Structure 1
Amino acid sequence: MAITVNIYYCGAGGSVRRFVEEMMASGTVEAIRAEPGNLRYEYFLPLADEETVLLIDSWEDQRALDAHHASPMMAAIAALREKHDVRMTVERYVTDEAHNPAADSAFVRE
């Protein structure tokens, strides 16, 4: 059961973009991607809102996510959020183990 967390980081005056740039430049993003159980850690820019960045953060299971939350990376992330005055909202999704990808194939163009 994989867990995906969508985090919407919001700021003002470009602060959220500076936050993401510093996350990447500091090596924090690469360190998180290297953590055991991390499946995805990627930022996206919504076209309709220049002051928001979406992070899609996926983990193999709750144990991997809990280990990440207990890691030193969380303190680094919190410090950068504070520094750049970034706020966040969170959505959490769990993989649908019963999902049949063939059922969606008529709607997917590869």
Structure 2
Amino acid sequence: MKNEKVVFLTWKKFACLNDYRKPTLFALDLLKQFPHSNFVVDARNGFEDDKEDVEWGFSELLPNISKTDCEYVAFIMPETEDIQDEMDMWTKEFGKYFAVVKAKSFEQALSKINDRILVNVKYAVIPGKRDEFLEKVVENDIITASRAEPGNYKYEYYKPVDSEDILFLMEIWVSNKAQTLHSKTEHYQRLQSLKKEYVTNVTIEKYSISAIV
């Protein structure tokens, strides 16, 4: 769908083997053919849960999709959520490579892809301790774990050129809910402990933004 810049895959019913793999490989080819496209999957009428196909999807399909410049994957879920456990499994796996959103309609999926939450954080660090603080953040796997969350789009620290004791963090999340879930993770709590040890003041700015172009 060129105007929306998405590859849209609709499942009419549960599928397996070639009935599952052919449409997904076709979607992969479209993602390669049309740069800067995101992936929307309508799973309201079925999806896939054959063990061999799941293993193929995790080991072959997703790594190949990750080689495209697709950034977002949106799942349109059934109202009754009959396949919630199955979709949670796929959402978690997709989240290793992409920012993932769930929606109840195609229009809502597009809205969630295009609207994001930007959080700018400014840390005032104990003089002379900025590099040590950042090293501890890395050692505690806070950056990697935050980027691996399905709802994360960007998580990056920056050092300003005009100060040795200030550190900036830019976060972009797919939704307020994703950002809230981030605050409940173990790695977020590890960051809070480090802040008590190294940071004297924190300033936070939060914005709702449209898709980055």
Tell me the equivalent position of 1:38: 152
Task: Report runs of 4+ in structure 1 exceeding 3 Å deviation.
Answer: none
Q: What's the TM-score once normalised by structure 1's chain length?
A: 0.80
Q: Distance in 2 between matches of 1:85 and 1:52?
A: 9
Tell me the equivalent position of 2:173: 59
Tell me the equivalent position of 1:5: 119
Instruction: Write the letter of the residue equivalent to 1:9.
Output: Y
Instruction: Write the letter of the residue equivalent to 2:148.
Output: A
Q: Distance in 1 between matches of 2:199 and 2:118?
A: 24
Gaps of 5+ in 1: 102-110
Structure 1 residue 29 corresponds to structure 2 residue 139: no
User: Secondary structure in 1 aligned to 2:133?
Assistant: helix
Instruction: Write the letter of the residue equivalent to 1:3.
Output: I
Query: How far has the Cα of 1:15 moved from its partner?
Result: 2.0
Q: Distance in 1 between matches of 2:204 and 2:157?
A: 14
**How many residues end up aligned between the 2 structures?**
99
Q: Distance in 2 between matches of 1:32 and 1:86?
A: 23
User: Secondary structure in 2 aligned to 1:2?
Assistant: strand
User: Secondary structure in 1 aligned to 2:210?
Assistant: coil
Q: Distance in 1 between matches of 2:141 and 2:148?
A: 11
Query: How far has the Cα of 1:78 moved from its partner?
Result: 0.8
Q: Distance in 2 between matches of 1:68 and 1:18?
A: 24
Gaps of 5+ in 2: 1-114
User: Secondary structure in 2 aligned to 1:94?
Assistant: strand
1:6/1:55 contact within 8 Å kept: yes
Q: What's the TM-score once normalised by structure 2's chain length?
A: 0.43
2:123/2:199 contact within 8 Å kept: no
Greater gyration radius: 2
Tell me the equivalent position of 1:20: 134
Query: How far has the Cα of 1:65 moved from its partner?
Result: 0.5
Query: How far has the Cα of 1:21 moved from its partner?
Result: 1.3
Percent identity, aligned pairs only, is 27
Query: How far has the Cα of 1:48 moved from its partner?
Result: 1.1
2:156/2:171 contact within 8 Å kept: yes
Q: Cα RMSD between the aligned structures?
A: 1.7
Q: Distance in 1 between matches of 2:190 and 2:126?
A: 21
Query: How far has the Cα of 1:85 moved from its partner?
Result: 3.5
